[in-house]
Amino acid sequence: MPVGTQGTIKGLTTDQLEDIGCQIILGNTYHLELRPGSQLIDDLGGLHKFMNWKRALLTDSGGFQMVSLLHLADITEEGVTFQSPVDGKPMLLTPEESIHIQNNIGADIIMALDDVVKTTITGPRIEEAMYRTLRWIDRCIAAHKKPDVQNLFGIVQGGLDPVLRDICVKGLVERNLPGYAIGGLAGGEDKDSFWRVVAQCTAGLPENKPRYVMGVGYPLDIVVCSALGADMYDCVYPTRTARFGTALVPEGVLKLKQNAMATDERPIDPTCSCMVCKKYTRAYLHCLVTKDAMGSQLLSYHNLSFMMRLSRDLHMSILEGRFPEFVRGFLRVQFPKGDVPQWVRNAMEVAGIDISECCASTKCLTPSIDEQPPLPIPVEANGGVPN
Partner 1 sequence: MRFAVTKVCGGGGKARVGALHIGGGGGIAIETPALLLSTRKGLPSFVSCDHLASLPLPDSLLLHVCPTHFMEGPPLKTISNIGGLHHMLGLPDHILVAAAGDSIESLPSSEATNKFGASFDTPSGRRLVKPSDYMELVSCMKPNLWASLADEVPAWVTDKRNKISVDRTLRWLDACIALDADSGTNGFGVIVGGSSVEQRRLCATEVSKRNVSGFWIGGFGLGENIEERCSLLNAVTDCLPPEKPRLVSRLGLPEEVLEGVAAGIDLFDSTYIYQLTMGGFALIFPIDMVEREIQNGTFNNDGGDSTKINLRASTYRKDTSRLVDSCNCFTCQNHTRAYLNHLLNVHEMLAQILLEIHNTHHYLHFFRSIREAIKVGKFDLFRQQFVKKRRANITAAVL
Rule CB under 8 A: choose which of 200, 226, 246, 297 binds partner 1.
297
d(C-alpha 156, C-alpha 177), whole Å = 12
Give the x/- contact pattern for partner 1 in 316-335, rule: CB under 8 A.
--------------------
| Closest CB 277 distance from partner 1, rounded Å | 11
Rule CB under 8 A: choose which of 83, 281, 290, 382 binds partner 1.
281
257 binds partner 1 (CB under 8 A): no
Burial category of 93 from C-beta neighbours within 10 Å (exposed 0-12, middle 13-18, buried 19 and up)? buried
6 binds partner 1 (CB under 8 A): yes
d(C-alpha 27, C-alpha 247), whole Å = 23
Residue 64 marked ligand-binding: yes
| Closest CB 292 distance from partner 1, rounded Å | 6
d(C-alpha 349, C-alpha 359), whole Å = 13
CB 316 within 8 A of CB 290: no
40 binds partner 1 (CB under 8 A): yes
DSSP 77: S
- Residues 366-375: contacts with CB under 8 Å, at least 24 apart: 366/341, 366/342, 368/342, 369/192, 372/190, 375/160, 375/193
> Is 15 one of the catalytic residues?
no
Give the closest residue to 134 by CA, choosing from 79, 97, 99, 171.
171
306 binds partner 1 (CB under 8 A): no
13 binds partner 1 (CB under 8 A): yes
The secondary element (H helix, E strand) that includes residue 2 is none
Interface segment toward partner 1; rule CB under 8 A; list 118-126, 202-210, 246-254, 282-290? 282-290
38 binds partner 1 (CB under 8 A): no
16 binds partner 1 (CB under 8 A): yes
Length of the chain: 387
| Closest CB 384 distance from partner 1, rounded Å | 49
The helix/strand/coil state of 152 is strand
Active-site residue identified among 115, 161, 192, 234: 234
d(C-alpha 363, C-alpha 355), whole Å = 14
> Is 60 one of the catalytic residues?
yes
Active-site residue identified among 60, 115, 192, 221: 60
> Which is nearer to partner 1, 119 or 296 (by Cβ)?
296
290 binds partner 1 (CB under 8 A): no
Give the x/- contact pattern for partner 1 in 45-84, rule: CB under 8 A.
-----xxx--------------------------------
CB 58 within 8 A of CB 24: yes
301 binds partner 1 (CB under 8 A): yes
Give the closest residue to 72 by CA, choosing from 126, 30, 104, 133.
30
| Closest CB 2 distance from partner 1, rounded Å | 13
Of residues 91-150, which lie at the interface with partner 1 (CB under 8 A)?
Answer: none
Residue 82 marked ligand-binding: no
| Closest CB 289 distance from partner 1, rounded Å | 11
Residue 168 marked ligand-binding: no
| Closest CB 243 distance from partner 1, rounded Å | 9
31 binds partner 1 (CB under 8 A): yes
Give the closest residue to 61 by CA, choosing from 110, 15, 10.
110
44 binds partner 1 (CB under 8 A): yes
223: Cα separation from own chain's centroid: 12
CB atoms closer than 10 angstroms to residue 261: 22
Residue 60 marked ligand-binding: yes
283 binds partner 1 (CB under 8 A): yes
| Closest CB 21 distance from partner 1, rounded Å | 15
Give the closest residue to 26 by CA, choosing from 16, 15, 17, 36.
17
Rule CB under 8 A: choose which of 56, 141, 203, 275 binds partner 1.
275
Q: Tell me how many helices (H) and strands (E) the chain has.
A: 16, 12
282: number of CA atoms within 13 Å, CB side?
22
Catalytic residue positions?
60, 234
- The site for partner 1 (CB under 8 A) is made up of 6-16, 19, 31, 35-36, 40, 43-44, 50-52, 262-263, 265, 275, 278-281, 283-284, 286-288, 291-294, 296-298, 301
